[in-house]
Structure 1
Amino acid sequence: MKVAICDDSLVLANQVDTLLHNYDMKRFDVDVFTNPLRLLASLADNYYDFFILDIEMPEMSGVVLAGQIRDFGNANPIIFVTSYKEYMEDVFALHTFDYLIKPLTQEKMNQSLKRLTNYLGLQSRRFTFTFNRTSHSLDLTEIRYFEKNRHTVLIHTRDQIYETSMTTADVLAKLDHRFVQVHQSFIVNVNAVKHLKNQSLILNDEIIIPISRKYQRQAKIAIMAALREMMS
């Protein structure tokens, strides 16, 4: 797994790096940043499976940095590290995975990493489908939303749109709690949601997905429940 650590203190950043490698030396490929702007610049060329961010940094707070990571389109887990509990409400609005209070210990990090690796293991499920006699398989994390288009389904990822002949029921049967039907024509990955409004969802790339009246109540409940489950 590729990990980005950002802390303005190189000593503390290296401490986090050490805790990661003590947990599993071979599992993590770590990039350490002491400047949030350099981490943001690296996103153009690097894909990180998760982030560990200090909150109190002079150039840019970890909360602002996390928001910009989300704006970039990366919805992967974020673990915040801080000396204070006062930021909890702010950071959980950013789909935070965990919130660790300093001083860090190996036990604290191990517990968080165990939950994280279990969560990422669940994410490795794949969506298989066939179209024009060709079989395809996508990691569920790649899929942002499904769109029903008459007799076919369009599968939207960040880089490509696939098409298959399936019923909505067949699509839902292949998915997990991260996916919520919000409209007769749309099923959305909650990890791709940036804002939830009364009659629409705004995704991380500013795509607007309508929420129909029929699905409005259950969609909101399901999205909030899915987000809580991912954080638990």
Structure 2
Amino acid sequence: MKIALCDNNQREMGKIEKIIHLHTSQECECDFFSNGEKLVRHLKKIDENYTIYFISIELNEIDGIALAQQIRSFDLDALIIFLSNDIQRMPDVFKVHAFDYLVKPVSDDCLLETMDRAKNYFNTIDAYFEFSFNRKLIVLTMNEIVYIAKSGRIAYIHTTEKIYKTYLTMTEILDKLDTNIFTRIHGSYVVNLNYIVKIIKNEVFVTHLENEARQKRTTALPMSRTFKDETKKTYTAFLKTRKL
């Protein structure tokens, strides 16, 4: 697991790195960046992104929220954990889908709790969804699936890379999906909560990166009156589990 630590205070980040290495069973590689510009320049040079970003809100030159927005422009999957001297900026982190918001000085217990939740989150998204079409077995990770749309007998599985087809019924689909990260928004639509960016009136908007250029695509999906209240309730609860 690759972790980026971005803060003006190297001592604070050193403490966090030490706790992670001492108290977590996961093998972690941590890189420290004293400001957002250095982190962005580094990301442009490497071929892979970080799994987790610890970002201080109170960065010099470019603040933590603006830095997270740049990261989200090309990486929607990484976990972003904000660090701050107070809770005043907490409402701002909704728009970048932060995983957690820790108030400095960060206690060992709070940090370890966050890392445990991150581990559980990755275990969840690595779960598999199996189906077949034209006698071919296809296996996807849950996190690859953005949403599933049913049309007649065919269900169209929209992933971050392509669209698959299956003859599974909606009941069979729901039985296979992890209800912690998927919710039904319509009789014919099931959505991955991780890709929802906003809910407006009778529509749910999902965003993901597609094609080789990794361009961001936002899609509006219909939300029926039958599932509207439950969808909003489920999404709100989902955000709260990420301490937002």
TM over 0.5: yes
Is structure 2 residue 202 aligned with structure 1 residue 199? yes
Deviation at 1:218, TM superposition (A): 2.1
- What is the match of residue 183 of structure 2? 180
Aligned length: 232
- What is the match of residue 211 of structure 1? 223
Structure 2, unpaired ranges of 5+: 208-216
Contact 2:87 / 2:103 at 8 angstroms: preserved in 1? yes
CA RMSD of aligned residues (A): 2.4
Moved over 4 A (4+): none
Q: 1:159 to 1:52 in 2, by over 3 A?
A: same
1:16-72 Cα deviation digits (max 9, x unpaired): 322222223752122333332454462783233322111111222212222333343
- What is the match of residue 123 of structure 1? 125
Q: How does 1:146-165 map to 2 (within 5 A)?
A: 146-165=148-167
Q: 1:143 to 1:213 in 2, by over 3 A?
A: same
Q: 1:90 to 1:177 in 2, by over 3 A?
A: same
- What is the match of residue 145 of structure 2? 143
Identity across the alignment (%): 31
- What is the match of residue 6 of structure 1? 6
Deviation at 1:229, TM superposition (A): 3.0
TM-score of the superposed pair, with normalisation by structure 2 = 0.83
Is structure 2 residue 239 aligned with structure 1 residue 227? yes
Residues in 2 aligned to 1:98 and 1:114: alpha-carbon distance in whole angstroms: 12
Contact 2:101 / 2:243 at 8 angstroms: preserved in 1? no
TM-score of the superposed pair, with normalisation by structure 1 = 0.87
- Mean CA deviation greater in 179-188 or 92-101: 92-101
Structure 1, unpaired ranges of 5+: none
